Amino acid sequence: MSCEHLICAQCAGPVVEGRCPACRASRDRVHHHGFGGLSPTVIAIVLIVLLAGTLALRHLYGT
């Protein structure tokens, strides 16, 4: 879904411009990113740390 054609009921401006708090909240709700409220950057860092930990354990136990 896109907010390009949505008009805010509070300020009568395009939601995509985010002129008022209601516009910004609606735009953020439509364009939610991430998983469980986490940004893609945080998810990538967590995955890299898990991978590094797994490789370190494999190296320690030699399997």
pLDDT at res. 32: 65
The band of 17, judged by pLDDT with boundaries at 50, 70 and 90, is confident
* Structure confidence by residue, pLDDT tens digits, 36-63: 667 778 889 999 999 999 999 999 988 6
26 versus 35: the higher-pLDDT residue is 26
Q: Cβ(53)–Cβ(45) under 8 Å?
A: no
- Cβ-based neighbour number of residue 13 at 10 Å: 13
Positive or negative: CA dihedral 10, 11, 14, 17: negative
* Structure confidence by residue, pLDDT tens digits, 31-43: 766 566 677 788 8
| pTM of the entire predicted model | 0.46
Report domain extents, the chain.
Answer: 1-32, 34-63
Q: Cβ(46)–Cβ(34) under 8 Å?
A: no
